[in-house]
Structure 1
Amino acid sequence: MRPTILREVFAGFLRTRRIVRHFRRRALLETLTRTGVSREIPAALTQPLAAAAIADAQALLEQLGSHEDGLSEAQAEGIRERVGPNEVEHEKPLPRWMHLWHCYRNPFNLLLTLLAIVSYLTHDMKGTLVIGTMVVLSTVLRFWQEGKSNQAADALKAMVSNTATVLRRGADAGTVAQQVELATRLLVPGDVIWLSAGDMIPADCRVLTAKDLFVSQSAMTGESMPVEKSAAHSGPQTINALDLENLVFMGTNVVSGSARAVVLHTGNNTYFGALANRVVATDRAPTAFYAGVNQVSWLLIRFMFVMAPLVFFINGFTKGDWMEALLFALAIAVGLTPEMLPMIVTSTLAKGAVFLSRKKVIVKRLDAVQNFGAMDVLCTDKTGTLTQDKIFLARHVDAWGEESSDVLELAYLNSYYQTGLKNLLDVAVLEHAEVSRELEPAKNFRKVDEIPFDFTRRRMSVVVAEHDAHHLLITKGAVEEILAVCTQVRHGEAVEPLTPELLQRIRTVTADLNEEGLRVVAVAAREGPPTQEVYGLADESALTLIGYVAFLDPPKDSTAAALKALAEHQVAVKVLTGDNELVAAKICREVGLAQQGVLLGRDIEAMNDQQLGEAVENHNLFAKLTPLHKERIVHRLKANGHVVGFMGDGINDAPALRAADIGISVDSAVDIAKEAADIILLEKSLMVLEQGVQEGRRTFANMLKYIKITASSNFGNVFSVLIAAALLPFLPMLPMHLLVLNLLYDISQIAIPFDNVDEEMLRQPLRWQPGDIGRFMVFFGPLSSVFDMLTFAMMWWVFGAQTPAQQTLFQSGWFVVSLLTQALIVHLIRSPKLPFIESRASLPLMAMTLAIVTVGLFLPMGPLAHYFKLQALPPLYFALLPLTMLGYMALTQAMKGFYRRRWGWQ
């Protein structure tokens, strides 16, 4: 990818809600449920929908200014200028002032603003300036990083945007209409579109023609079962437009069948748009990741609310100057506030997203990067993930396993004439060299009707007529499902009844093919008189089994290495497939995935949730699954405490993609799968996922470093302040000193997102554990206080800084020690290893540390010392300073060893 594109992608990733779908439909509907917003359609929208449902199709097209062959491009462009793009209001970018407000309004900035106001009211102008600088710095940096996201958002959305098949007429009246693929945002009222299995409904539409059309409206109504749609509303009068049989709505999806429909409403005027307007001010519920960030943030804020008043009262009572005590307590509050946390989190996630973009991975939700690191179970389909995603037609045999050209011809006719979603098996049949050379179905056959595929029957049928002499129903599908509707079997030119003995032999033949790693699809047929023009599910009966077409999908060369790498990183891989268990088992053996038992869909049907919860832990291969089986397995794994990723690209994967903690799909997936996913792969490979897991853990580890380092350092400083406040006749450090220290320290942390991470930290899943952070802070914070006390003693007895008149010398001495220990703690606890020797920080972090230390030493020793109320330190101080630092390093390293043995090191 070119550097300029990468820069755009980097900017785009930094604004979560603007990346791909600013207002994801599923999230909105979950928000509605949570906030109690009504899902009823406003009357202003209900009446036009009801009128469109009962109107004559031709009259409706004329009313919309359209035609049964759709609009011309010029007509569509004119309408688009009038009604705008097919996008809901909330998807538009925020105004710059609103974006700036969002960058500012985190708890820490609001708290710092309050402290700055108090400082101003108490005439502490220097404190006001320093605190204000910190707020402005944090806000502007974040605004600058996120500001460029608008430029890249459209490009990113285009990479994974959904499209619709639209009929377009030429400029001349006699020109034949053509089917074109358009981005859904370009649709306008009056467009005539084609819908087939796997399509997202791109707008509110009236169905003109339909064939076995089933639509999932669960996102709108909560109904789990798809509903059938037709070209006419034959049901009773209803005030609920969702009950109208000939209307389909934006945000729903086609499960099976096909249809031609005209667009009625787009964008804000759709049912979905009406709902969006009701919750435009409602924020999306925080994800588990951001909930964890918030938990940690409030832990630190609560700590600050306890410690700052304590410092205030101790200083007030011991020094008697309550105004000075107030200013000092405010400085302590600022010092305890990790105001850079929002920017560190955003920057770290963005860096991970940039890394993944180089691996041809598009991150739709920024926190999905961290979810990679937390993932400990990856559920994946078999085809195209473990295998090459290039299926070859390897065998075409009759029921006895002997090669048969009749089977090949019937399979070809079935794949050629079906208008639903053509899967890889259909493509393999159509591309077969022998078929392409010898068969010309258009010459001898015409299509009569079609019974589309669905995941309950697991078969599909087409009906063709040969010279109108008779009708031939050809059914292709899973072996067991085809056998269930067969009563006969062809053997050569003869037809025999399907006896139990023959069934056993048939199953032996198919099992042998499966053992070879071939995926077997059965083909059956039935002839009938040319009198029937419409066929349905009831006609799939009394068929004759003709034979099988068997497909080979060899495993990818990289799969075995990827599975091994995932196992080394403690990510368990479970294969969830609708395919035969024998084929799946053979592929698993070839790629080195040790089997822990096979669980079939029919076994899952017989289990309750508790039994399935136990079974999913003991099995890693699940075969012959329906979409609901996959979703249920994911839910059970999550209920068992796992962070679950699911990788899939088909219609049958969409429920599981939504259910998983991190849904992963590919750019070639069907629309509904891409809509449900959090991550889009431009290259379908498990190796990319393994790299994503490492990057997610690296991202999380760097965020955790900042929190641990900041919490420990701040706690140690406050602990020292409490002791000093009780013992010293003057403040150990002025409020301005504390603010400058905090500002310098925060600037040095900007480089943390780019720090190195030890390989050991990448070997296990990482999660938020606020309790562990609190314990870490209590154990490591006071270590610096030990050496602060030694510094106090040194300044008191060695340098004689014992009176208020000599407090500047005392404060300068502690200022330098405090800054150096804060700089050093970054390197001491960024890794459990020995710093600088076994584990080195990245060059940017080392450079920032050196720069801050240089500035910190320059302030008391340089010409600005008087301005900051500091003074130059004697040479003996700098002779003793290295001993203090070496002692601090030794004690911290000893505590690291104890802590790691006792609680581990996340």
Structure 2
Amino acid sequence: MKLTLKEFFAGFLRNRHIARHFRRLALLDSLTDTTVSREVPPSLAHTLVAAANSDSAVLIDTLGTHTDGLSEAEADALRQQHGFNEVEHEQPLSRWVHLWHCYKNPFNLLLTLLAAVSLATDDVQAAVVIGTMVVLSTVLRFWQEAKSNKAADALKAMVSNTATVMRRDFSADAAPIFGKFYGASLSIKGAQRIELPIKQLVPGDLIVLSAGDMIPADCRVLSAKDLFVSQAAMTGESMPVEKFAHQSNAQATSALELDNILFMGTNVVSGAATAVVLTTGNSTYFGALAQRVGATDRGPTSFQTGVNKVSWLLIRFMFVMAPLVLFINGFTKGDWTEALLFALSVAVGLTPEMLPMIVTSTLAKGAVFLSRKKVIVKRLDAIQNFGAMDVLCTDKTGTLTQDKIFLARHVDVWGQESDDVLEMAYLNSYYQTGLKNLLDVAVLEHVEVHRELKVGTAFQKVDEIPFDFTRRRMSVVVAQNDQPHLLICKGAVEEVLSVCQHVRHGESQEVLTDELLARIRQVTAAFNEEGLRVVGVAARTMAAGRDTYSLADEQELTLIGYVAFLDPPKESTAPALKALAEHGVAVKVLTGDNELVTAKICREVGLAQQGLLMGNDIERMSDGELALAVETTNVFAKLTPTHKERIVRLLKANGHVVGFMGDGINDAPALRTADIGISVDSAVDIAKEAADIILLEKSLMVLEEGVLEGRRTFANMLKYIKMTASSNFGNVFSVLVASAFIPFLPMLPMHLLVQNLLYDVSQIAIPFDNVDEEMLKKPQRWQPAEVGRFMLFFGPISSIFDILTFGLMWYVFHANTPEHQTLFQSGWFVVGLLTQTLIVHMIRTPKVPFLQSRAAMPLMIMTGVIMAVGIFLPMGPLASYFKLQALPPLYFVFLPMILLAYMALTQAVKGFYIRRFGWQ
């Protein structure tokens, strides 16, 4: 497919090979792309429906497996047949293809064209110089990006997901080898449960699932106990669905509605199961979906858009100025071939051919810095977006808070401390066999209750009524010796109250009246306002003699009290938010949690609440209304994943550079939509895949460091563009003046190219330059109009001194005939290169250079070396090769005067410019 020049250029700075290297096609693509059909391919649907309706014994036989699982040899054979269990994703480019991608940008293509023309006209020296520029630009970019790819490999190696698999018939020799590779502690005989990397699974493998597990392939359930699976990304169902060992509706034809089929990429919310793997890798529904969305790339970020706009500004300028140079020289000199070569050289001088290398090396330097802070940068351009970010949207749980629940209160119905409530809650949490969530873990940390009650010896479990998402409560029945059975119920307050008839008041019981109900709600609301999650605890005494209980027994309970939990904020949250605010970053909280709890957390971390929007409010608002509301609101509660994504999208549409920080599956769409997605190492896989930056430490203070590093990175990139744009404009303006009045070329094409090459080499150290503290105070972003204005203001300054140099060479040194043109060209070559190099120090800071702000040592050394080389070339033994000649001693008397006057005028204009327009 042929690309236009604009399309070609628009993609060359995207580091697309890096993005592809990281982008394991994730479930979140199906969440964010509404154009992709969720329909299961017919062949896969037929396979899944047939498996769902098949008898489990027949299915196991059909798959060639065994009730104890596959043997190691059988699994190896199947793996050879089916390949690894991984969805195909875009592979990293080979070295040669990567090298080609580093070369094929418009600047290098233009240089290559000029080199070919030089060879065709027997100008070998010019061809060598141009070729050197191309090789240098390409190799430097290749080297920097290869280092980034290596970091990408290290990141992928950090992510290791496993599944619990049944294996049988291990040999004494094979088991140690197997254990070495998979880290399993194995017995030799019989079926063993081992932890196997998900990519090693094959059709026919028997897997064991429990709460929190990701489904590693498309599977058929063989046995299940209260198995609830979240498959919202596949079906759009917001609530987990229960899965069973048998298909209830034999007439079902939609694979997504099958009761006993599990899909790769979904996850177990609660319960346990065994299942047999049906399909793996690309043959799964996940794989089919990934193939549809895999071709879609995320839209350009703020960084990419800005780079493209600035670069096209320079290219358009080149397309205007180069033809002017061609026609003026062609008409005034009469040699159109030489005029063409000169115009092409001017075009090369105008193109920022080192921009790809400067951008990549600057970003890579930022990535190395952040890696020392235990931050993994997945997409290089995310670093600049970090600095440009002016709005940070963040989830609450696990990001602002510790994601570690603490039991804060255990109180009776009236809010008074009660050990009885804690004991009841402990027995419930200890004896339940379903999902032990963070609330249960917090209760079970009270080991003193375990000792006092002699749990496990004095009490025996009789039965359990499992949790489900309709009742939002669960019960256990325990017995103490020959005492009556005790049913203990724990769950959401409203749901527990719905099955209560009495409340405990001291040692007595009272009937639950409307008046008491209102008082209870007042007590629990007060806890909510303190930021506590409240769980009701109720009980009922049952006659002994039964061993089976059901939902019908959850009635006529007595409310005993409540356990209240706190998810406290991280210690680093408050100082981090304060630091972000000081640096011009507004923080907005987007959470699915209760608004009262959210408000409490915001107060604790020092985030002043400005308005509150609930999920149901957002549902009723149009995009226009919400776009206005998101500007004045900083707390959003009870949100769905779609709400979060919509808020981020509208903030971007309002002109903000938006960061989003989250760690859950519900955060993935917003992470993908944001200019910069930030997650933590403990996040779910889907969130880490969607994020651009991963924090390996819980401290949020690294966010401030990331913002500052992003701004340093951007400031250094902008230095190069400003320097190049203004310097090149000044040179071309000087060329136009000289071409109109001088009977020979003011500088040969090769001189222009050598000058440009030396100047570009001096810029290599810019990524390591210092940045003034003032430049880090507020978000920085691309402003193409600002670059254009800057170029028009500062470019002509150098032209003034170029014209003075023309007069000096013409009248003082009498280089005013074609026979003396080499002297003229040598004089301008030195002044042009030295002023072009000095501009680096003048423009890198709004302050007075060398006195108030000093460049980093690498840049000082590099520019000093290039200035020395610029003087050496006409004065040394290589002068004749470059068609230059030695300059008279008197020239070096005038040279410092020209340079000092140039610096003084530039500083004066800079002061006026700052007062009028400011300094980016």
Report the equivalent of 2:115: 116
| Cα 1:516/1:298, change in 2 over 3 Å | closer
Letter in 2 for 1:307: M
CA distance in 2, matches of 1:148, 1:891: 42
User: Which residue among 368, 385, 388 is the counterpart of 1:374?
Assistant: 388
Alignment of 1:536-575 (within 5 A): 545-575=559-589
Moved more, 563-572 or 297-306: 297-306
Moved more, 739-748 or 655-664: 655-664
Report the equivalent of 2:474: 461
Q: CA deviation at 1:695?
A: 1.0
User: Which residue among 191, 195, 216 is the counterpart of 2:231?
Assistant: 216
Contact 1:383 1:389 in 2 (8 A): yes
Q: CA deviation at 1:817?
A: 1.1
CA distance in 2, matches of 1:720, 1:342: 27
Report the equivalent of 1:8: none
How high is the TM-score relative to the length of structure 2?
0.86
Q: Deviations over 1:695-733 (max 9, x none)?
A: 111112211222221122112111211121111111111
Q: Deviations over 1:812-841 (max 9, x none)?
A: 111111111111111111121211122211
Alignment of 1:785-804 (within 5 A): 785-804=799-818
Contact 2:730 2:798 in 1 (8 A): yes
2:891 is the counterpart of 1:877:
yes
Moved more, 621-630 or 676-685: 621-630
CA distance in 1, matches of 2:33, 2:609: 43
| Cα 1:178/1:423, change in 2 over 3 Å | farther
Contact 1:476 1:524 in 2 (8 A): no
CA distance in 2, matches of 1:404, 1:99: 67
User: Which residue among 831, 834, 848 is the counterpart of 1:820?
Assistant: 834
Contact 1:14 1:149 in 2 (8 A): no
User: Which residue among 514, 517, 525 is the counterpart of 1:500?
Assistant: 514
CA distance in 2, matches of 1:485, 1:130: 87
Contact 2:21 2:91 in 1 (8 A): no
Contact 1:195 1:258 in 2 (8 A): yes
Residue segments in structure 1 that go unaligned for 5+ positions in a row = 1-12
User: Which residue among 202, 205, 216 is the counterpart of 1:191?
Assistant: 205
Contact 2:434 2:466 in 1 (8 A): no
Moved more, 502-511 or 793-802: 502-511
| Cα 1:634/1:279, change in 2 over 3 Å | closer
| Cα 1:797/1:749, change in 2 over 3 Å | same
The number of residues matched between the two structures is: 886
Report the equivalent of 1:145: 144
2:18 is the counterpart of 1:17:
yes
Contact 1:450 1:535 in 2 (8 A): no
Contact 2:25 2:294 in 1 (8 A): no
Letter in 2 for 1:646: F
2:65 is the counterpart of 1:61:
no
Q: CA deviation at 1:409?
A: 3.9
Alignment of 1:93-108 (within 5 A): 93-108=92-107
Report the equivalent of 1:739: 753
Q: SS at the partner of 1:871? A: coil
CA distance in 2, matches of 1:432, 1:168: 38
Q: CA deviation at 1:604?
A: 4.6
Report the equivalent of 1:594: 608
| Cα 1:271/1:652, change in 2 over 3 Å | closer
Q: SS at the partner of 1:379? A: strand
Letter in 1 for 2:341: L
CA distance in 1, matches of 2:295, 2:398: 42
Q: CA deviation at 1:190?
A: 2.9
Q: CA deviation at 1:643?
A: 2.4
Q: Deviations over 1:618-659 (max 9, x none)?
A: 333344555555444434433433222222223443444344
CA distance in 2, matches of 1:319, 1:495: 110
Q: SS at the partner of 2:890? A: helix
Contact 1:209 1:259 in 2 (8 A): yes
| Cα 1:597/1:149, change in 2 over 3 Å | closer
User: Which residue among 409, 412, 426 is the counterpart of 2:426?
Assistant: 412
Alignment of 1:712-723 (within 5 A): 712-723=726-737
CA distance in 2, matches of 1:492, 1:282: 64
2:680 is the counterpart of 1:666:
yes
Q: SS at the partner of 2:746? A: coil
Report the equivalent of 1:450: 466
Q: CA deviation at 1:458?
A: 10
Moved more, 207-216 or 858-867: 207-216
Report the equivalent of 1:10: none
| Cα 1:818/1:527, change in 2 over 3 Å | farther
2:747 is the counterpart of 1:748:
no
Q: CA deviation at 1:145?
A: 2.8
Report the equivalent of 1:9: none
Letter in 2 for 1:216: Q
Report the equivalent of 1:157: 156
Q: SS at the partner of 1:733? A: coil
Q: CA deviation at 1:105?
A: 2.1
Letter in 2 for 1:25: A
CA distance in 1, matches of 2:360, 2:103: 13
2:646 is the counterpart of 1:645:
no
Report the equivalent of 2:915: 901
User: Which residue among 710, 728, 732 is the counterpart of 2:742?
Assistant: 728
CA distance in 2, matches of 1:458, 1:883: 87
Letter in 2 for 1:124: D
Report the equivalent of 2:489: 474
| Cα 1:227/1:388, change in 2 over 3 Å | closer
| Cα 1:116/1:258, change in 2 over 3 Å | farther
Contact 1:200 1:671 in 2 (8 A): no
CA distance in 2, matches of 1:554, 1:30: 31
Alignment of 1:731-880 (within 5 A): 731-880=745-894
Q: SS at the partner of 2:536? A: strand
Identical aligned pairs, as a percentage? 73
Q: SS at the partner of 1:444? A: strand
| Cα 1:271/1:877, change in 2 over 3 Å | farther
Q: Bigger radius of gyration, 1 or 2?
A: 2
Q: SS at the partner of 1:875? A: coil
Report the equivalent of 1:3: none
